[in-house]
Every structure is written in structure tokens, then in C-alpha cells.
């Protein structure tokens, strides 16, 4: 497959008031981002509240996105967790024909050592032909994948094609970029540091804010890739306050609140998350009026 570049969107799963999946809302989101020049879609990532979805619901989300997308954009599928054998079993029992790669989060809660993390991803790769993108998000998993471990995995396994790096540590991203193989993608997993990651040699972003502002984020990333730094930052500074707002009450609570204000889908989430407050909604409305 081609190396992943540009703007990927971490899709949410919209819900109705009764808690059922809102497939009309999902269709609106996919069309909204696809029409505004994003480069690929991430289905059933952690932003999709995947841990609260039943097996059948996950199948239905996949089919819905595939039907709307019609192979226009590359699709990445989230399959991760803290039980290595279970992940391998899930990968074996799903049709991956329409997916370019699997995004797999580092095991959470168990807090494995660096060698444990290495062996976890080695086991996954040795049991599938699928391309794997590692997802490092220490504030959620409780453990950090260090650059040396990332480089070791990248060099040892051709099917590990990239990392979504969301440690928030720009130096960590730079250390990976410095030593990684040429065809290995370093993808920002943090909207706030997308530009410095790309300008330092990164390949793009898997973004949350891009669901609300797909055109702006796509343009910003493209300008950064072209080394048009001032133009890229001028877009970033327009949306920086909104990026901050969508994380104020957690993710995906914030982005769903923005999508509600934009009249794309409702803001309902599933427990243990709760929907955004009226205060957040008002702040987002006020910020939109300033743009």
C-alpha cells in the first residue's frame, strides 16, 4: 500500500436519544469530511466509543461507512485492546478486504514493559497479513511506547507501517522521525501539535477536530507538507480555541457537542461518558460566531 499521508479522521459513533446508533448522523459525518478533502477515515477507533459497542453494532458501523464511502477514501480499522490473544482472534474473524490497515492501541491498564509491548505487537503481526499502525496514547493506556521500541518494531516487521503518536511529547516524535525506516509513517495523534510534527518530518495527522473542520485541517496539513509555514499556522490559529474547547469535557464528548452545534448529528454518548454541558455548547457556539 501507499504510505499514509495527510489528514485522517477519527470518526465518532453518533447515537440517538435512546442510545441506538444514529446511522443517518454517521452518513452525514462521512459525507461532510469526504467532500472536504480529507485523505482517509479511521473506523472504530477509540474516539468511536468502540469499547461500548456490541459486536453486531461494530459490524453495522463498518458496513455503513463502507457503503457511504464506496472505496473513495482509504479506510483504517481500529482493533486494539489489552488481551493479545483476543485481538488476534478478532483480526482473524473479520473481512479486511476494504481496509488499508489496522490501527491497534498499545495495551491499556496492564501497563506492560517495553519488551511486553514489543512482544504484543510481534504476536499480532505474526498472526495476520494485515498492515498494522501502532497507536501510542500514554494518558489513556498508562504506559508509553518509547522511541527505541517503536524503531525496533518498525525495523523488525515490514507489516508495521506506522505509528499514531499521541504522547503529546514533540521530542519523542522527532526521535522516531530521526531513526525510522523510510516507509514507516509517523502520524500525529494530537491536534495541537500536528504542525510541528509535520514540519519536523511527520506524515500527517489522525485528527478529531477535522470532523468539525475538515476543509480547514486538510488545507492546513497540505500547506505544512508544502512547507508553507505561515499559511498553515494562520489556519491553526483560527481553530486553536475550538481544539481546546472540544477537549474541555473529554473526547468524544467535545467533538460531538461541536457536531451538534453544526447540525450534523446529536451529541449523545454512552456511559460512562456523559454528553456535553450547556455551558460547553454555548462556548462552542460563541467561538463559531467569531470564526
The three cell numbers of residue 26 are: 454517521
Q: Which residues contact 144 (CB under 8 A, 6 or more apart)?
A: 136, 138, 167, 172
5 in catalytic set: no
The three cell numbers of residue 203 are: 506524515
Which of 28, 131, 164, 260 is catalytic? The answer is 164
Q: Which of 4, 7, 3, 5 is nearest to 191 (CA)?
A: 7
Q: State the Cα–Cα distance between residues 146 and 167, nearest whole angstrom.
A: 10
Which of 40, 108, 118, 135 is catalytic? The answer is 135
174 in catalytic set: no
State residue 115 phi and psi, 5-degree precision. -70, -35
The residues annotated as belonging to the active site are 135, 164
Amino acid at each position: 500500500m501507499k504510505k499514509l499521508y495527510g489528514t485522517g479522521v477519527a470518526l465518532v459513533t453518533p447515537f440517538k436519544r435512546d442510545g441506538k446508533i444514529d446511522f443517518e448522523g454517521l452518513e452525514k459525518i462521512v459525507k461532510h469530511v469526504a467532500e472536504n478533502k480529507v485523505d482517509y477515515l479511521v473506523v472504530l477507533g477509540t474516539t468511536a466509543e468502540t469499547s461500548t459497542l456490541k459486536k453486531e453494532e461494530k459490524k453495522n458501523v463498518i458496513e455503513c461507512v463502507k457503503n457511504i464511502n464506496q472505496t473513495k477514501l482509504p479506510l483504517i480499522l481500529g482493533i486494539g485492546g489489552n488481551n493479545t490473544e483476543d485481538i488476534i482472534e478478532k483480526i482473524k474473524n473479520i473481512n479486511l478486504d476494504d481496509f488499508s490497515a489496522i490501527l491497534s492501541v498499545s495495551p491499556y491498564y496492564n501497563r506492560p514493559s517495553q519488551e511486553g509491548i514489543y512482544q504484543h505487537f510481534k504476536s499480532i503481526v505474526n498472526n495476520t497479513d494485515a498492515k498494522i499502525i501502532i497507536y501510542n496514547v500514554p494518558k489513556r493506556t498508562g504506559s508509553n511506547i518509547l522511541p527505541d521500541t517503536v524503531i525496533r518494531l518498525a525495523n523488525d516487521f515490514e507489516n508495521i507501517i506506522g505509528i499514531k503518536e499521541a504522547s503529546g511529547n514533540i521530542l519523542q516524535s522527532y526521535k522516531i522521525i530521526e531513526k525510522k525506516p523510510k516507509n514507516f509513517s509517523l502520524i500525529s495523534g494530537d491536534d495541537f501539535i500536528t504542525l510541528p510534527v509535520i514540519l519536523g518530518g511527520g506524515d500527517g495527522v489522525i485528527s478529531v477536530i477535522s470532523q468539525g473542520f475538515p476543509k480547514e485541517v486538510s488545507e492546513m496539513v497540505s500547506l505544512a507538507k508544502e512547507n508553507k509555514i505561515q499559511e498553515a499556522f494562520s489556519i491553526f490559529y483560527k481553530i486553536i480555541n475550538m481544539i481546546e474547547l472540544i477537549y474541555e469535557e473529554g473526547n468524544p464528548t467535545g467533538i460531538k457537542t461541536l457536531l451538534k452545534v453544526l447540525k450534523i448529528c446529536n451529541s449523545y454518548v454512552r456511559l460512562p461518558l456523559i454528553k456535553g454541558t450547556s455551558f460547553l455548547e454555548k462556548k462552542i457556539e460563541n467561538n463559531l460566531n467569531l470564526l
